[in-house]
Amino acid sequence: MNAPASFALGKSRSVGAANILFPADLARHALILGNTGSGKTVTTERIVHGALAAGAPVVIVDGKGGRLERTARALATLHQLPFRSALGLSPNSLGYNPCRIGEPAQVADKLVSSFTFDPAGEIYRQVAQEAISVLVTAMRLAGIRVTMRSLADALDPSAMRGLAERVAIQDADLARELRGLSSRGNPSSTAYLGMRARLGSVVRGVFGPALERGPSLRISAALKDRAVTHISLPAMASTGDVSVMARILIQDLKQAACLRLGAQDLPPAVVVLDEFAALGDPTQMVDLLRQSREAQISIVVASQQLPENVDLRGSLLSSGLVICHQVTGADAETMSARFGTRPDIVVSRTLDPARRGKVAGTSIRRSERPEISASELMHLPTGRAAVVWNTSGHRVAIVDIEPLTARGVA
Ligand SMILES: Nc1ncnc2c1ncn2[C@@H]1O[C@H](COP(=O)(O)OP(=O)(O)OP(=O)(O)O)[C@@H](O)[C@H]1O
Ligand SMILES: [Mg+2]
């Protein structure tokens, strides 16, 4: 790849073209914030365009399932790169099977941590984790395709005994372990039922067909090959389904980041999370941001609001590139603080009432004023954004983002 590369976001009202260095400016991730309709997605497209021009593989997780797919496809064509769609509605779209890759314990962890358990349910979480890990090992050994559906079926005592018979000759210990799992009473039997119901509800939901369909998306490959990958999380799915799927994707991205740590010569990759439901899972998101950074994966988060969670908020605000479209209320204050202040000179005059308002004295004092005030951020028109980026010092600009449509891309 031709490093160092740079791309323009648009015209800055103060510093000329607002050029972003890739990968340096994105190495600590990017945050794009703004009210609905303020221009986040258009800005995101611009970044994707720049990253592709610099040779990066790009994976887009589209929380609205729509608009970005068309642009992603057009961008792939423009850059003469392969395009992949996953979880989309079209029959050509790739499936996604989170059980296919990873050690059995990793698969178990991915699935179990994608559901929420209250503190009293911790025991069920542990039981499910252990059982799924053993089941995945056995199913693979028996040549059974592991999917969320086949796992749900296997989380049943009689199915466990059947599986034990199938693997007994190849692995007697494993068969014994399965029989042991199958004969446990409570809380294990309740935990199997609970996990079975949870997996079953996802499988019966809107993602069901895509979870069974092959060929399926491999996230680590999508982060390695120069290509554009679009993953849809359709807006019409139930919020429960979407948040489970979003969590599974986070786990997979984290795993892919880990795999990259040991690998040589991988290009820096970009993952776009546009209106990503899993922002509601702050602990996992903070982990993802940290691990990705080490693995040279830049995460571009586009969101309508700052998350309430303090840690995630801090992680996002410390992104190397922060783009703020029109925002409201408390977010405007927080973002104004993120843009910093500049020195200012305040001149105040006191008037003398006895001398009909003539100036009695002048005082000059040094002060600091916001680079961009909260009020300015609240009144930005569509397509205009306040931008701060840090590689070559702290740079702040108000930028008119240049939409790709102007170049005939979308
Ligand atoms: N830089 C721009 N220049 C001109 N028009 C723009 C620009 N950015 C956005 N628009 C227009 O404004 C509309 C909304 O833009 P966009 O979809 O990017 O907003 P958004 O912040 O992603 O909204 P949402 O939160 O609903 O996803 C679109 O019709 C788009 O064409
Ligand atoms: Mg959008």
- Residue 128: CB atoms within 10 Å: 25
Q: 50-81, pLDDT tens digit by residue? A: 999 999 999 999 988 667 898 999 999 999 99
65: left (phi over 0), alpha (psi -120 to 50) or beta: left
Instruction: Give per-residue burial for 263-292: e unless 16+ CB within 10 Å, then b.
Output: eeebbbbbbbbbbbbbbbbbebbbbbbebb
Tokens 């021009």 label which residue? 53
Task: State the amino acid at position 142 in one-letter form.
Answer: A
CATH of the domain at 395: 3.40.50.300
For residues 351 and 226, what is the distance between their CA atoms, to the nearest angstrom? Answer: 68
Query: Nearest residue CA, atom 3 of ligand 1?
Result: 383
Is residue 119 in a domain? yes
For residues 160 and 382, what is the distance between their CA atoms, to the nearest angstrom? Answer: 58
Q: Which atom of ligand 1 is nearest to the CA of 302?
A: 22
Instruction: Give per-residue burial for 144-162: e unless 16+ CB within 10 Å, then b.
Output: bebbbbbbbbbbbbebbee
Both 20 and 80 in one domain: the answer is: yes
Which residues place a Cβ less than 5 A from the ion ligand 2?
40-41
Tokens 């004969």 label which residue? 183
Helix (H) / strand (E) element for 335: namely helix 329-339
Distances (CA, A) of 169 to 72, 142, 154: 50, 11, 19
Alpha-helical segments (H) within 79-230? 104-112, 122-141, 148-154, 157-167, 172-182, 188-204, 208-212, 219-222
Both 123 and 189 in one domain: the answer is: yes
Tokens 């399965």 label which residue? 178
Residue 287's SS3 state is helix
Both 171 and 234 in one domain: the answer is: no
Tokens 């002048």 label which residue? 362
The count of structural domains within the chain is 3
Q: 337-357, pLDDT tens digit by residue? A: 999 998 888 888 888 888 877
Is residue 334 in a domain? no
Both 113 and 171 in one domain: the answer is: yes
Nearest to 273 by CA among 297, 257, 240: 297
Both 270 and 390 in one domain: the answer is: yes
Evaluated on CA atoms 271, 276, 280, 281, the torsion sign reads negative
pTM of the prediction?
0.91
Query: Nearest residue CA, atom 29 of ligand 1?
Result: 37
Is residue 348 in a domain? yes
Is residue 133 in a domain? yes
Residue predicted with more confidence, 173 or 410: 173
The response to whether residue 305 sits with its C-beta less than 6 Å from ligand 1 reads: no
pLDDT for the residue numbered 264? 81
Both 127 and 67 in one domain: the answer is: no
Is residue 331 in a domain? no
For residues 104 and 178, what is the distance between their CA atoms, to the nearest angstrom? Answer: 14
For residues 79 and 350, what is the distance between their CA atoms, to the nearest angstrom? Answer: 63
* pLDDT exceeds cutoff 60 at 1: no
* Mutation probe of ligand 1 site: the residue of 382, 384, 387, 402 with most atoms within 8 A of C-beta: 382
Q: Are strands 5-12 and 16-22 parallel, antiparallel or unpaired?
A: antiparallel
Is residue 139 in a domain? yes
Q: 135-165, pLDDT tens digit by residue? A: 999 999 999 999 999 999 999 999 999 999 9
* Spacing, Cα 147 to ligand 2 middle (Å): 32
Residue ranges making up the domain that contains 366: 344-370
The overall longest dimension of the chain from CA atoms, in Å, is 108
Under 8 Å CB-to-CB from 154, ≥6 apart: which residues?
Answer: 135, 139, 160, 163
Evaluated on CA atoms 261, 262, 267, 269, the torsion sign reads negative
Q: 206-253, pLDDT tens digit by residue? A: 888 889 888 999 999 999 999 999 999 876 667 788 888 888 999 999
